Amino acid sequence: MTEDNQVLSKSAFNFEQCLKCSICTVYCPVSAVEPNYPGPKQSGPDNERYRLKNPEYFNEALKLCLNCKRCEVACPENVKVGDIIQEARIKYSTHTPGLHDRMLANTDFVGTLAHNFAPLTNFALKLAPTKAVLHSVMGIDKHRTFPAYSFQTFEQWYRKQAEEQERFDRFVTFFHGCYANYNYPQLGKDLVKIMNVCGYGVHLLEKEKCCGVALIANGLSGQARRQGEVNMKSMRKAVAKGEPILTTSSTCTFTMRDEYSHLLGIDNSDVHDSLSLATRWLYRMIEDGKLRLAFRDDFKMKTAYHSACHMEKLGWIPYSTGLLKMIPGLELIMLESQCCGIAGTYGFKKENYERSQKIGSPVFKQIKEVNPDCVSTDCETCKWQIEMSTGYSVENPISIIAEALDVEKTRQLNSQTRA
């Protein structure tokens, strides 16, 4: 059945397939709390027709979009509603990024400055006067608790033990991302621990830059593209070595797999399939019988799993939850899949803070009702938001697995599979 006749009617992001059914509106977290946001249907495919005629129809209110992609997840016609909105912002917005946009978006720059003075930075960031200054001068809401910076970055820790990694004969490459690097190297160490115990050495990318998701959201897509090209170059080298590129952040993965090509015009087709969330890679290796995990008898935990927006968009939640379900002592409760409200740098800005908290309040409410030992999720900003807003601790599934792992038994099982 050829579709030659229909080729011409294929529109960018499928916007002509929109039926105006309004299902996207039902699932938009912003639309539910913010009447000033035109909503996904109007901001996306409806308005696109007008914008194609005349760019003056672009509305700066589109910046209220969280880029959560839940509109796309819900759409029955496969219209890329979120992409249409983001692309319109990139193409038509005349808003120049302000200082707080640049600061929040440049995680590498701020991370480097902040971690070098970590004890001082962390202390200062907790003080009310500092927060007041950040609030009034920088527009960063005073209610926000900044995640602590680590004095030693993950990369610095890695370099100290890089030689250790070379004693393995099989490798994976790890894209660690800004969060693990500057704020929480423990997550990177947990990933390395699991890999090493399973018989895999871990390499880093030759040169790693922030994935750029915050740059795209803050109107700095040119810089995002440049950083993307650096990452692409490094990833191609890893792929050439035959090493899968693993990540521990759902948003970094989603950005580099989807947003690079959809929004930044970067051709990533040669690395796309090699790039995967670590939980997905582990699950599939176990499924194929190439890797085995054993867990401690004394490990007990009740965890509530939060479905991060980009994880829902990737469709990979079954991998993370499937992996967690392999731990005998773990009780897994699935929270209703909803946006936590922070949307990366969005929720840090004072003009968005209240909205963010309104959006996330059903999530916080359900967590308190479930009362788990900890919450689990694959996204680091969800982790900050939930920790800040509920007081419950939040762990990446990789950290839970690393903690539950029976190291000796796992090592034995994997040396057997190799034999």
For other proteins, the binding residue among 38, 147, 228, 372 (CB under 8 A) is 38
Q: Among the residues of 138-220, which ranges form H helices?
A: 154-160, 162-165, 177-178, 185-197, 213-217
For other proteins, the binding residue among 10, 12, 52, 76 (CB under 8 A) is 76
* Non-local CB neighbours of 219 within 8 Å, separated by 6+ positions: 89, 90, 93, 95, 96, 97, 101
Q: Which stretch binds other proteins (CB under 8 A): 20-28, 197-205, 289-297, 397-405?
A: 20-28
- Of 341, 343, 336, give the one whose Cα is nearest residue 304: 336
- Of 81, 107, 85, 69, give the one whose Cα is nearest residue 311: 69
For the bound state, the minimum distance from the C-beta of residue 367 to other proteins, rounded and expressed in Å, comes to 17
Whether the CB-CB separation of 376 and 324 falls below 8 Å is answered with yes
Within residues 95-114, the interface with other proteins by CB under 8 A covers: none
N-term to C-term CA, the chain: 49
For other proteins, the binding residue among 14, 31, 122, 234 (CB under 8 A) is 31
Binding mask 306-325 for other proteins (x = CB under 8 A): ------xxxxx-x-------
Reduced to 3 states, what is the DSSP secondary structure of residue 189? helix
For the bound state, the minimum distance from the C-beta of residue 3 to other proteins, rounded and expressed in Å, comes to 6
Amino acid at 414: N
Per-residue burial over 157-195, b = 16 or more CB atoms within 10 Å of its CB, e = otherwise: bbeeeeeebeebeebbbbbbbbbbbbbbbbbbbbbbbbb
For the bound state, the minimum distance from the C-beta of residue 295 to other proteins, rounded and expressed in Å, comes to 21
For other proteins, the binding residue among 1, 8, 128, 240 (CB under 8 A) is 1
For the bound state, the minimum distance from the C-beta of residue 7 to other proteins, rounded and expressed in Å, comes to 11
Within residues 232-291, the interface with other proteins by CB under 8 A covers: 273, 284, 287
Q: Considering all CA atoms of the chain, what is the largest pairwise distance in Å, rounded to the nearest integer?
A: 68
For the bound state, the minimum distance from the C-beta of residue 73 to other proteins, rounded and expressed in Å, comes to 4
For the bound state, the minimum distance from the C-beta of residue 88 to other proteins, rounded and expressed in Å, comes to 17
CA atoms within 13 A on the CB side of 335: 30
For the bound state, the minimum distance from the C-beta of residue 238 to other proteins, rounded and expressed in Å, comes to 18
| Number of residues this chain uses to bind other proteins (CB under 8 A) | 41
Whether the CB-CB separation of 369 and 346 falls below 8 Å is answered with no
Residue closer to other proteins, measured from CB, 37 or 171: 37
For other proteins, the binding residue among 12, 19, 120, 127 (CB under 8 A) is 19
Residue closer to other proteins, measured from CB, 5 or 96: 5
Binding site residues, other proteins, CB under 8 A: 1-3, 5-6, 19, 21-23, 25-27, 31-33, 35-39, 41-42, 72-78, 273, 284, 287, 312-316, 318, 334, 336-337
